[in-house]
Structure 1
C-alpha cells in the first residue's frame, strides 16, 4: 500500500468549525507559551494580525525571520508556513492584541489583496500604534458583548482598521497610481496563488485574463522584470521549499504533491530556479534554523 504523503499541519481558528473571527488581549509575565504546536511549522486557515506593545521574540515565516518587537504590526496569511523560532525569555512581559479572522468573514478590502505581496511586518510610530489599539478596544467590546448586531459592528470596525493599516503602508511607499498594467499583474499573481498546482503554463493564465500570451508577457516584464513563467515558477518553488523543509516526504513524493509527472523533471526544475538541489536546500535550511 502506497504511503500517504506527509502534510504540513493546518490549524483552524477555533475548535468550532464555523468560527470566523476572534480577538484577544495578550498579557503574560513569566515563562514562555508552552503550547508545543506554536514552535512547530504549521499553517492557519485564517489571517492573523498581531499588535506588539511589549516583549520580543523570533518568528520564522516562509524562511524569513521576523522579530516580534514593540510597536510592530505583524501579519500572517492563511497559506503561509510559520512557527515561533525563538520565544521571549521568562523574564519578559509580553503584551499586545491578537486578531484572527477568515477571508469569508470580512468585506473585500485592498489591504487583504496586498497582504500576499507585502512584507509581513509594519513598524509603527506611537501615534499609529495608539490609533490601532483604540480600534482594537472597540473590536474587543463588540466581540465580548455578542449582541444581535455584533458581527456587523465587528466587520465595520475591521474595515476601518484595515483602511488605516493600508494608509500606513501607502505612506511608506513612493506615491503612485495603480495603472491598468499593475492591476493585470496583481490579478495574475492572485490567480497563480489559487491555481499554481493545476496550471503551470503562462498561456493558461493569459486565457483566464482574456489576454494574448504576448501581451501578458510584455506587461509582466515591464512591471516586474520577470516573465509570467517566472512568476509561476516562483510560486511553485515556494511551495516546494515549504514541503522540503517542513515535511519528511521524499523528493519523489513532493514532486507528486506538486503535480509533476516525473520526479526527474521536478528535480531539474527546482535546481534551475533555486540554484541548488532539493536535498541541498532541505539540509541547509534545516541546519540554519535547527528544524527537525
Structure 2
C-alpha cells in the first residue's frame, strides 16, 4: 500500500507543523515519504488514477478523478493500481481552518464523519475547476500577503462546499463481519495515539467510552465486539498499551514521573503510580531506578 497524498521531506513537515496547513502537488514520479504526523491533520486530496482506498470499514475503488476527505481520527490507506497518478493535496489542522470561528467540529461534517462518504467522483470539467483552486493555494502559501491564511481558509471552504454539492461515490464494499470491523478500527485508533512525543499533546482517548464516542457506536456494542473478537475486554487493551508506553517513557526519556503521568492522561501522579503498580507489581520510580 502507498499513499499518493503523503508529504515529501522533513522541511515540509516542519513547515506544516509551524503553519498548520500545507498544499502541494502529487506526481507519480515524485518520491513519497510517509513521515508527517497524519493523526494531526485533515486532508483534502484531488487524485486522478486507479486506486483502492480503504477508509474505516469500507473499500472504495476509483478510476478517474476523485476528491477525497481524510479525517485524522479515522484510519485510511491507499492501494495504487494504475502505474501513474497525479493531483493535489491539502493538509490542515482543525484550528487552522476554524480560526476564531466556533462552528461545529469538522468531525461532525458529513464529509469527515466515520459514517459519511469521503470520496466524490469528478467530471473532467469539475476536476479542472478543483485543480485551479489548489493551484491558487499553492501560489498563495508562498506569498507575504498579510491575510494569506484567511484567503487559504476560504479556498479550503470552497473545496468543502463544492464537495457538498456533489453526490458521493457509492462504489464501495463493507467488511462482512461488523464486530471485526469495529475491533480493527478500535485497535488502530488506540495504536495511532502513540508514541507520546510531548506533554503538550497528552493522551486523548483513555476509556472505552472515549473510543465509542469517536467511532460513533454505543460503548456496550464496542465492548461486546472487542470481547467477541479478541477474547479480552476493551479496558484490558487500553491499559496494556498505556503501560507499554509508560515503560518506554521511563526507559528512554528524562521526563519526570509527573510529566509521564500527565502525558498518559492521568490527572494526578498518584493515580498513575497506583495504576502502574497494580498492572506491573512495581512502582514507576522503582522501574526507572532498575533501568539506570
State the alpha-carbon separation in 2 of the partners of residues 111 and 127 from structure 1: 28
Match of 1:256 among 225, 236, 241: 236
> Which runs of 5 or more structure 1 residues have no equivalent in the other structure?
1-10, 173-194, 206-228, 245-249, 261-292
Superposition map of 1:119-130 within 5 A: 119-130=117-128
Give 1:69 deviation, angstroms: 3.2
Q: Cα deviation per residue 1:164-215 (whole Å; 9 max; x = unaligned)?
A: 2112248x9xxxxxxxxxxxxxxxxxxxxxx9864749xxx9xxxxxxxxxx
Alignment-derived partner of residue 15 in structure 1:
14
1:74 to 51, 68, 75: 68
State the shift of 1:132 in Å. Answer: 1.5
**Per-residue CA distance 1:76-121 (angstroms, 9 max, x = gap):** 101112233x3345xx222101111111111347976222131121
Contact 1:68 1:74 in 2 (8 A): no
1:73 is displaced (CA, Å) by 1.0
Task: Indicate the residue corresponding to 1:87 in structure 2.
Answer: 80
Q: Report the counterpart of residue 167 of structure 1 in structure 2.
A: 165
Q: Deviations over 1:195-253 (max 9, x none)?
A: 9864749xxx9xxxxxxxxxxxxxxxxxxxxxxx9644556689x59xx8xxxxx8648
SS at match of 2:130: helix
The normalised TM-score by structure 1 is 0.50
Match in the other structure for 1:144: 142
Question: TM-score scaled to structure 2, two decimals?
Answer: 0.50
Does residue 56 of the first structure (1) align with residue 36 of the second (2)? no
Cα pair 1:196 1:235 within 8 Å, conserved: no
CA distance in 1, matches of 2:219, 2:133: 38
Cα RMSD after superposing both structures: 4.3
Structure 1 residue 28 and structure 2 residue 28: aligned?
A: yes
- Structure 2 counterparts to residues 105-254 of structure 1, below 5 A: 105-107=96-98, 108=103, 113-114=109-110, 115-116=112-113, 117-169=115-167, 198=207, 200=209, 231-233=218-220, 252=232
Structure 2 stretches of 5 or more lacking a match? Answer: 1-6, 171-203, 241-292
Partner of 2:87 in structure 1? Answer: 96
